[in-house]
Structure 1
Amino acid sequence: MTDVYIVGSYSSAFGKFPDRSFKDLTREVYLGVLADAGLANGNDIGMAWFGNCGMWTDGQGSIRGQVCLTPLVREGLFPERVPVINVEGGCATASIALHGAWKDVLSGQTDLSIAFGVEKTFNPAHPERTKALFDGGIDQYDPEEWLAYYAAAGEASGKPFEPGPGRTIFMDTYAMQAAWHMRTHGTTERQIAMACAKNHNASVHNPKAQYRFPLTVDEVLADRPVSWPLTRSMCAPIGDGAAAALVCSGAWLARQPAAVRARAVRIAASTMTAGKYRQLDEPGLSQLAAERAYKAAGVTPQDIDLAEVHDATSFCEIYQSEMLGFCAIGEGGRLVESGATTLGGSIPINLSGGLVSKGHPVGATGLSMIDELMLQLRGEAGPRQVSGARLALAENGGGVMGFDEAACSVMILQKD
């Protein structure tokens, strides 16, 4: 089978950038990924995947990537006539784009494929557009199905489903999952706050994070309530940003200078799963995606040196630790409390700061996770570096189907 590598990765800073356009962000990450790969130009690129969720709310649908890349083509920076495939999958959008680029190279369609994730969710002049973007992540045709599902889940969890102002509906669904986990497994609010504080403290060392201030566990618990048991600090913020990755074949890589070859990282596995309306005590779709990824890579959860997981809320990190096999079901809270998920622990998680502190511009998130893991596997992560990191895992979910995400990606990267 063809070996597939990431030869270049790049992420913009995440934050609120009302004066930066989609085209501005696309330009930054494209030029950044070329520089990271040590390339003077992108002439060898044979395919492009462009991930975005919200441009349609600003009037641009259908040909989003083509529109954002046109100035670069005109200036001779991006090659002409390269097919651009637009993808959208909620918060998993960028991971879907990277999965497509991986398959391009794996299948032999091209030696070099690029994946973009570009997003703006902060729109102070038109907040209704932000709401429309997030509303697209849940079934708008048959809402009575999820309303009934969440009503029943509220009874089972002891937390009624009561959406309110100042938050997306997703925060309420995560809060109900947290309440059910607390009732079923004994997870505590303090353990959720520990996961949150850990990530906020890690983001202090990430110059591209949206939030770069430390928090204590008590400060997290005392923050403004969003939807019990979640406080504001435990929930990913609104923001803008972009990220990209350049994927290549082993044959193409072998022709590059030694300095380029030395920084390439192999994609050991890339798996996707789809969500469903599952029972509350039924494992989520990320468990199956992870099992498939471990099998494809020929590794176990115990072999993973670090992970970036989709903590849209801090409870999600606890839950995903269980689904990914880093601990037994129900033990995620105790895993955090033990210190295992911190820098120096047995399985460091979200050393970038995670979504709750690094930021969560929906369509860019998955590729920003990859950029963090690339830094770690190259030994370039600075104060947050995991010593001797060789195997890393990224888990990214998007949209909702009941208590499942609508789509989930698990990718394993290996430094040969």
Structure 2
Amino acid sequence: MRDVYVLATACTAFGKRPGDCFKALTREVYLDLLKDAGWENGDAIEQGWFGNCGMGTFGQRNIRGQVCFTPLVREGLFPERIGLINVEGGCATASMAFHGAWKDVASGDMEVSLAIGVEKTFVPGDPDRTLEIFEGGIDQLDASEWHEYYKKRGAESGKPFDPNGGGGTVFMDTYAMQAAWHMKTFGTTQEQIAIAASKNHWHGSMNPKAQYRFEVSVEEALADRDVSWPITRSMAAPIGDGAAAALLVSEEFLAKQPPEVRARAVKVRASVLTGGKYRDPAEPGLSCIAAQKAYAKSGLSPSDVNLIELHDATSFCEIFQLEMLGFADTGKGGAFVESGATKLGGRLPVNLSGGLVSKGHPVGATGLSMIHELALQLRGEAGDRQTEAPRIAMAENGGGVIGFDEAACSVILLEAPSA
């Protein structure tokens, strides 16, 4: 396998953008990507991976990437006749696109491959259509299986599962049950979850592309309305729209680029995808498996990692994933967050973008927005939220649910440009 580099990244502002269609979001992020690469057009691109979850709800169930790129092809901004592969993996969709582009280059089949994720989840006045997008992230063919699983886990956690109550979504309920189980088993507190939320809202307040650019105190996070106890609104990702993208290239292609381009190239040390199962709550989660494989492939360990972007669809996820990724002992993630280690200036900054709870979570774009943030940090271009001289960064992105597991999980390790 060849070495692979991230040549350029881009991300739109995330938020409720009812006036921007899928084609407009595609254009915006793609043109920003070309600008980041220093290119006038994408003629060097040999293949593309287009990630999206919800376009079928808007009437475009197939050939989504081809439809969105047709105007750009017509204008000579995107090459004719190349393959565009449409990808869907729930909230891990964009990371799957990244993995596909990485394999293109690592295998030697391509010199340049594009990964892009585009999403709209906000439908003004029609919440049922928004819900339809998210419902695709759980088994709709045999719902009785997860109903029985969650009833059992709800009883074990002390938070009964009621799919018809509370007014939230089954996904928030699953996170809440996991949080309740963790609290009951290890003594994790709601305040520790609120600390993670408050910290990420602070980070997001410094991110000009975040959906929420305001701070939330720990006390405010605790006092906010319940989404599904112990998760409050401030501890949960919002609904929104956006797009993100990356260009992946071979070392040989990179060597032919101008010095200023080579100086910003971020090396991919590992890209791993794993699949979930119905597991016992005491078993390691899916991200633990993905992280172990990424460490093995890269020759790195948790002690080498300087910063992380992880999938905090709720702020409890930060506590749990820090344990699964090898940065905190099992049951100690809450104390790790409470110590201040994961905030800007701490020894292991987490979600300097603001994370999903503040940056936003347009599901098909989220994984590549993580890559964008990490690239900014590794290049020293993150402005007010820049951490000090990072060398190795990790992205963890999960999608869909199978019981208490994600249906799919991606872990990516990146290395800063050489001095």
TM-score interval for Structure 1 and Structure 2 normalised by the shorter chain: over 0.9
Work out the CA distance in 1 between the residues paired with 2:58 and 2:252.
41
Work out the CA distance in 1 between the residues paired with 2:134 and 2:42.
33
Work out the CA distance in 2 between the residues paired with 1:168 and 1:27.
32
Work out the CA distance in 1 between the residues paired with 2:18 and 2:61.
20
Matched with 2:332 is 331
Q: CA deviation at 1:324?
A: 0.4
Matched with 2:42 is 42
Q: CA deviation at 1:148?
A: 0.3
Matched with 1:322 is 323
Matched with 2:314 is 313
Matched with 1:168 is 169
Which whole-Å deviations, capped at 9, do the CAs of 1:100-130 have from their partners, x for residues lacking one?
Answer: 0000001111100001100000001432211
Matched, 1:90 2:90: yes
- What is the TM-score of this pair, normalised by structure 1? 0.99
Work out the CA distance in 2 between the residues paired with 1:277 and 1:23.
37
Matched with 2:186 is 185
Question: What is the SS of the residue equivalent to 2:284?
Answer: coil
Matched with 2:21 is 21
CA RMSD of aligned residues (A): 0.7
Matched with 2:259 is 258
Work out the CA distance in 1 between the residues paired with 2:241 and 2:227.
21
Matched with 1:402 is 403
Give the AA of the match of 2:129.
R
Matched with 2:70 is 70
Q: Decide whether the 8 Å contact of 2:53 with 2:133 is kept in 1.
A: yes
Which whole-Å deviations, capped at 9, do the CAs of 1:33-81 have from their partners, x for residues lacking one?
Answer: 1111111211010000000000001110110000000000001110000
Give the AA of the match of 2:331.
G
Matched with 1:54 is 54
Which whole-Å deviations, capped at 9, do the CAs of 1:360-416 have from their partners, x for residues lacking one?
Answer: 000000000000000000000111111111100000000000000000000000013
Question: What is the SS of the residue equivalent to 2:390?
Answer: coil
Work out the CA distance in 2 between the residues paired with 1:275 and 1:77.
39
Matched with 1:346 is 347
Deviates more, 1:126-135 or 1:40-49: 126-135
Which whole-Å deviations, capped at 9, do the CAs of 1:164-214 have from their partners, x for residues lacking one?
Answer: 354221000000000000000110000000000000011110000000000
Question: What is the SS of the residue equivalent to 2:402?
Answer: coil
Q: Decide whether the 8 Å contact of 2:26 with 2:243 is kept in 1.
A: yes
Q: Which runs of 5+ in 2 are unaligned?
A: none
Give the AA of the match of 2:396.
E
Q: CA deviation at 1:146?
A: 0.2
- What is the TM-score of this pair, normalised by structure 2? 0.98
Give the AA of the match of 2:224.
D
Matched with 1:215 is 216
Q: How does 1:212-251 map to 2 (within 5 A)?
A: 212-251=213-252
Work out the CA distance in 1 between the residues paired with 2:303 and 2:135.
37
Q: How does 1:87-166 map to 2 (within 5 A)?
A: 87-163=87-163, 164=165, 166=167
Q: CA deviation at 1:297?
A: 1.2
Work out the CA distance in 1 between the residues paired with 2:251 and 2:218.
46
Matched with 1:361 is 362
Work out the CA distance in 2 between the residues paired with 1:109 and 1:377.
27
Matched with 2:81 is 81
4+ long deviations beyond 2 Å: 163-167
Deviates more, 1:124-133 or 1:367-376: 124-133
Q: Decide whether the 8 Å contact of 2:166 with 2:228 is kept in 1.
A: no
Give the AA of the match of 2:212.
Y
Identity over aligned pairs, percent: 66
Q: Decide whether the 8 Å contact of 2:121 with 2:239 is kept in 1.
A: yes
Q: Which runs of 5+ in 1 are unaligned?
A: none
Which whole-Å deviations, capped at 9, do the CAs of 1:294-351 have from their partners, x for residues lacking one?
Answer: 1111111011000000000000010000000011111000000111101111111001
Q: Alignment length, in residue pairs?
A: 416
